[in-house]
Amino acid sequence: MCPEMTPEWLTDRFLTLRRDPGRFRGDHDLNPDMSIAENLVPAAVLVPLIDRPDGVTTLFTQRTSHLVHHPGQISFPGGHSDPVDRTAEDTALRETEEEVGLPRRHIRIIGRLDDYITRTGFSVIPVVALVAPPFNIAPDPEEVASVFEVPLDFLMDPANHQRHKREFNGARRDFYAMPYEDRFIWGATAGMVRNLYDVLTGSPPDPDFRRSPQRQTAGIRD
C-alpha cells in the first residue's frame, strides 16, 4: 500500500519518477497473443486527482450509449489529438473542458503514465493532474452520461483489482476490472489505473505484463 497520498506526496512522487519513453502499456499486457497495429491513432486522457477534505479522489466519466467508440463505458475524460494540440497535455485539458466543463484553471498537471495501447487501435497518453475544488462541471450530454468520483485509496488497494475475461470476435481477452459501488471500471481505463498503482506503490508490473508485443502492418488482430 502507498503512504498517505496527499497532493504534496503525489507531486513529489511524479517529480522523482524516471519514465522510460520507449516503454508502453496496453490491452496486450494480459493478452500476449494480441498484435498491435502500426498506425495507431494518437489520443490523451486526463487522470484527475481531486484534493477533497476527506482524501484524494479520482474523477471518471460514463460515456453515453450512442457513441461510436466505447459506448456506455467508464473512462477518463479525453479523446483524439487535434491539430490545434501541441502536446498530449493540451489534448487532455481541451477534451476535459469540452466533455466535463471542468475549467483548466483548477487543474495542475504533475506527470504522465506510460502510453497505453488499446485493442481498438489507439495510443493513449494518460496525463496525471491534481484538481483543486471547489469547481463546477457542465458535462456534454452528447458524450457524457454521468461524472463521478472514486476514492484514490480504493483504487490503490490491490484487493480491489480483479481480472476478468470475455470473448471478443471469437477470441478470449483478459482485462483488469475495479468494480466500485454500482460502477464497473474495466478495460483500458482499469489498465491505466493499474499503471498508476504501479507508479505510486513502486510495484513491478503484473507478471503477465508483456514488454515486446508483436506488431502488424494493418488493423488489430483479435
Q: Domain for residue 84, yes or no?
A: yes
* Most confident stretch, 17-26, 67-76, 171-180, 205-214: 171-180
Q: Which three cell numbers stand for residue 71?
A: 459506448
Cα separation of 111 and 70, whole Å?
Answer: 26
Q: How many other C-beta atoms can be found within 10 angstroms of the C-beta atom of residue 6?
A: 12
In degrees and rounded to multiples of 5, residue 80 shows phi and psi of -60, 150
What are residue 215's DSSP bridge partners?
36
> Considering its fold, how many domains does the chain have in total?
1
Q: Domain for residue 91, yes or no?
A: yes
| Overall residue count recorded for the chain in this entry | 222
Q: Domain for residue 200, yes or no?
A: yes
Q: By residue range, what is the domain housing residue 45?
A: 7-15+30-209
pTM over 0.85: yes
Q: Burial of 36 by CB count in 10 Å (0-12 exposed, 13-18 middle, 19+ buried)?
A: buried
Averaged pLDDT of the chain: 86
pLDDT given for residue 120 in this prediction: 84
Q: Domain for residue 217, yes or no?
A: no
For residue 165, the domain's CATH number is 3.90.79.10
pLDDT given for residue 70 in this prediction: 55
Q: Domain for residue 221, yes or no?
A: no
Return the half-sphere exposure (C-beta side, CA atoms, 13 A cut-off) of residue 113: 29
Q: Domain for residue 23, yes or no?
A: no
Cα separation of 198 and 202, whole Å?
Answer: 5
Q: Domain for residue 24, yes or no?
A: no
